[in-house]
Structure 1
Amino acid sequence: MAGFPQQRPRRLRVNAATRRMVAETRVHPASLILPLFVREGLDAPREVTSMPGVLQHTRDSLRKAVVSAAQSGIGGVMLFGIPAERDAVGSAGIDPDGILNQAIGDVISEIGDSLVVMSDLCLDEFTDHGHCGVLDSEGKVDNDSTLEQYARMAVVQAEAGAHMLGTSGMMDGQVGRVREALDAAGHTDTSILAYAVKYASACFGPFREAVESTLEGDRRTYQQDPANLRDALREVTLDVDEGADIVMVKPALPYLDVLAAVADTVNVPVAAYQVSGEYAMVEAAARNGWIDREQMILETLTSIRRAGAEMICTYWAEDAARLLRERY
Structure 2
Amino acid sequence: MSPSKVPAVLYFVIIFLIILEISLLIPSKSDVSTVSGGGDSAYREADLHIQDFELTEARSDDLSWRVHAARALLFRKFDLGVLADINGELVESKHQVKLTGREGYVFVNEKSLLLVDGVEAVTEEGYRLSTEYLWYDGKGQFIRTASSVNVAGPDPENPTIVFSGQGLLSSIKKQSHEILSRVRAHQNFQDEPTLFISSDSGRLNIEEKLATFSKDVEISKGDLKITSDKFRVKFLGNRDIEWASATGDVNITDGGWKGTCKEAILLGKDKFIQLRGGAILKKGEDIVRGEMITLDRVKKRIIIDKVSAELKPPKGI
TM-score (ref. length: structure 2): 0.25
The structure with the largest alpha-carbon Rg is 2
TM-score (ref. length: structure 1): 0.24
Q: Which has the higher contact order (CA 8 A, sep 6+)?
A: 1
Q: Determine which structure has the larger helix proportion and give its number.
A: 1
